Amino acid sequence: MKKRRVAILLALLMGFTGCSSVPIRDTAIVTLPPVDPPFPAPVGDQSGEITQRIALSLPGAVTGQLTLVSDRLALPATRHPAETVLTRLFSFQANEQARALSENGTLELMSGRGVELSGGTAVVNLSASALSLSSQDLFRSGMAITNTLSQWGDIRYVNILVNDQHPGLDPAATVPLGSLVSDTTPGAAARLWEARGSQRTGNVQGGFSLATTLYFPAPAGRGVLAEGRTVSFPDTNLSSMAMSLLDALSAGAGTLPGVPRVPDLNDLLISNPLVEELPGAQGRVIFLSFEENTNERLISAGIPRSVMLASICLTLTTFLPGVAGIRVRIGTEMISAVVPAGILEGAGQEIVFLDQVMRRTDFLRFLLDYCTLYFADGSGTLGTTRRAIPYHQTRNPRYVLNELLSGPEYTDTTPGLSPILPESLKDADWLGIARHNGTLAVNISGTAGETFKSLNEVQERLMVYGMVNTMASLDGIGMVQFFIGGKQDGRFAANIDLAGSFLPSVGIVAR
C-alpha cells in the first residue's frame, strides 16, 4: 500500500513538471532567467581563445589516404579559425592514426597574408617552401587543406597559391588547378588527380570546365566580393583563359546581390591579352590594352577604375598558373598608380604599381565579405540584411556593432529598414566586449543607458533583440549578456530586464 501511495505521488509530481509543458510559441522572445553574471563586466575588448574539437585532414598511418583526424585546439574568438587550424595541420607530427601532411617538404602560410576569405571562398597562400613538393604532393596537400577548412560552413571553394602565385597542376605551371571542393571519401585525392590527367598533359580537345573564383566590384565602389562558380575554357593557353575569365566577369554575379554589372571587357580590349615574362623567374604578367572609352564605360556602370582593376587582377592571379600580376593600358595611358576613393580601408591613399605591374597584394585591402545585421522594418519587427565589410572584420563584435550604429545603408541587401539604436550612441559607448565560450558580454556606458529610458516598448524590444540577433549571427555566439555602466541592475527602458542571458529571437524577425 505504501509503495502504491509513493507511485501515485510520483505520478502527480510528473504532471507538474516541464515534461507536459506547453511549447514556447515561435513568436516568443526567449531570455534565460536573471542570475548573477558568471563573469565581470568587460572593460576594454577581450578577444581570448575558445578551445574546441576540430578535424584535420591527414594521410592515414596505414593507407596514406586522406582521413579526418580529431584534435582539440585553442581558436581565436574574434577571427576566423582558418589560419590557426592550418598552422596546426602543417605542424602535425605522425602518430598511430596519421602521418604528417608533408613528409618531403615544409608547409607554412605566407606571413601576414596566409588566408583570404570572401563569399564562401578561401585563398590559401603558402610560402615558397611548398615549391619543393611534387605537383601530385602539392595537389594532395591542397585537398587536405580544403577538407580541413570545409568543416566551417562558410567555406566551399579553396584556392591554393604559393608565394602569391597559382602553382598549377604541372611542374611548368601551365595547367590551372582551379578552386578545390572538399571530398572526404577514401582515396578521393588520388582519384581526382588521375581524373585530371588529360589536363596535365595538355590534352583538352573540346575545352574543359573548372570551379573558379571570380571577384566582382561591390556596390558603391566599396571593394570587391568573391563568388565561386564553374567557368568553361577552350584550352590552357594563358591568353584565351584570361579572356574566358573576363567573359565570366562581364556575365555578372550569380549569388552576390546588388553588385554593378561589369561592361563587356573583351569588347573593350584592343587586342587579345599578351603574356609577358618578368625577369629573374618572377613569374608571368598578363598585359591588357583597353580602348580609350573604357573609363567612360566604367563610370556609366558605377564602377571606379581602381575597383575594376582590383577585380581583374585578383581574378586572373587566383586562377592563372604562374601569373604574378597584370599590366593595363587604357587608350594611351599606362596605369602606374591609383587613388581609390570609396573603399572601406585605405581610401584616398595612393597605390603605386612597381614597374607598372599590379599584383594581388596591391588589392587585398579591397577584399570584402558579408556580415548580417538586424534593423527595424517599420511594422514592429526586425528585418535581416547583409552588408559588405572588410573580410577580416566579419567576426569582430565591435566592428559589427558599429555597423549597427551607422544604421541602414543604401548598399545593404535589404532596402527600407530603419535604425534600432539611438543616434547619440558612439563607438566609445561600448566600454568593453568579451567572449566567454558561447556567450558575448557587452558593457555599455551609463550615458548610453540614460538615452535608452526614452524608448517606448517597441523601440526597446527592437533595440535589444536587434543587437542580440546580430551578435548571435557571429560564429560560435549563442547568447548575449549586457551591462550598463558595469552593472546588470534595472531595465534597458521600462520593460526588458537588463539581467540574464539573452538568446536570439526568431519570432521577432519578419518573414
The pLDDT averaged over each successive group of 10 residues in the chain (511 residues) is 43 36 39 66 89 96 96 94 97 95 89 96 97 94 98 96 95 92 96 85 80 98 98 95 98 95 98 93 94 97 98 99 98 98 96 97 98 96 98 97 97 97 97 93 97 96 98 95 95 93 94 80
CA 318 to chain centre: 16
| Residue 401 near residue 432 (C-beta atoms within 8 A) | no
- Answering whether pTM is above 0.85, one says yes
Helix, strand or coil, per DSSP, at residue 199: helix
Beta-sheet strand order (sheet of 430-436)? 430-436, 439-444, 479-484
**Secondary structure element (H or E) that encloses residue 402, with its range:** helix 397-405
Contact 226, 253 (CB under 8 A): no
Looking at residue 34, its pLDDT comes to: 54
Beta strands 224-233; 274-277: pairing state: unpaired
Q: Which neighbouring-strand residues pair with 116?
A: 123
Q: Which of 248, 242, 297, 298 is nearest to 271 (CA)?
A: 242
Burial of 421 (0-12, 13-18, 19+ CB in 10 A): buried
CA distance 440 to 77: 10
What is the 3-class SS of 458-493, one letter each residue? HHHHHHHHHHHHHHHCCCCCCEEEEEECCECCCECC
Contacts of 308 (CB under 8 A, 6+ apart): 217, 262, 298
pLDDT at residue 202, rounded to an integer: 67
pLDDT at 104: 75
pLDDT for the residue 11: 41
> What b/e string do you get for 290-325 counting C-beta neighbours within 10 Å, with b at 16 or more?
beeebeebbeeeebbbbbbbbbbbbbbbbbbbbbbb
Classify each residue of 147-177 as buried b or exposed e, where b means 16 or more C-beta atoms within 10 Å of its C-beta: bbbbbeebbbbbbbbbbbbbbbbbeebbbbb
Length of the chain: 511
Give the model's pLDDT for residue 173. 87
